[in-house]
Structure 1
Amino acid sequence: MKTIDIFKALSNETRLSMLHWLKEPEKHFPAQGAHIPKGINFVGGVCVGDIQEKAGLSQSTVSSYLNMMQKAGLLESFRYGQWTYYRRNEPFIREFAEQIRTEL
């Protein structure tokens, strides 16, 4: 885990909002999973298009933001066909919070 990459990902208000929205996807987005095949468990995943609509930014900007957060370890993704879903990587976020608590 590169701490600086995590802080860079969190240093943008919109990316921080996205992470917040994904904490409670059922509250911030319509029902998800229409394109995820049966038997695939990706609970809490939200389609990029829905995140883009809520953020009010271009698809390319939103995809770039989501990719940055995924590379930092904050998000997980699942791609099926033309749809990509993202959700928070809760174990990683907990680990990072613990690291901040004990080391900083």
Structure 2
Amino acid sequence: MLRTPVNERRLHILEWLKEPARHFPPQRRADLVEDGVTADTVAAKLGVHRRVADTHLALLTDLGLLRAKRIRLRTYYRRDEMRIAEVARMFEKGW
């Protein structure tokens, strides 16, 4: 995690997913809070191609900061609040 460069787009994604209903439009097949948002939705909000959003979402998922959930043919991403709190505690302790 410490070797991963901080990126403004990834920070925005994490911030937006704190309150997904505030930052993203409603979805037909999934609940924004319970299930998360798709890479297409994140890409539209960031103003980038889906592949760029996929890369950021995959990295955040690999770090354990996001959880991915498949519903039909799409993957939905939401924050893993327990893991984020755990990481925050490690940094507060001065690691």
Q: Quickly name the TM-score band, shorter chain normalised.
A: 0.7 to 0.9
What is the 5 A alignment of 1:27-38? 27-32=22-27, 34-36=28-30
Asked if 1:70 corresponds to 2:48, the answer is no
CA RMSD for the aligned pairs? 1.9
Native 8 Å contact 2:68 2:76 kept in 1: yes
Native 8 Å contact 1:48 1:85 kept in 2: yes
TM-score of the aligned structures, taking structure 2 as reference length? 0.88
**Which residue matches 1:86?**
77
% same residue? 34
CA distance in 2, matches of 1:97, 1:21: 18
**Which residue matches 1:55?**
46
Name the structure, 1 or 2, with higher relative contact order (CA <8 Å, separation 6+): 1
For this pair of structures, how many residues does the alignment match? 94
**Residues 51, 59 of structure 1: CA spacing in aligned structure 2 closer, same or farther, 3 A cutoff?**
same
CA distance in 2, matches of 1:19, 1:52: 14
Greater fraction of residues in helix: 1
- Gaps spanning 5+ residues in structure 2: where? none
**Which residue matches 1:18?**
13
Q: Structure 1: which 4+ aligned runs deviate by more than 4 Å?
A: none
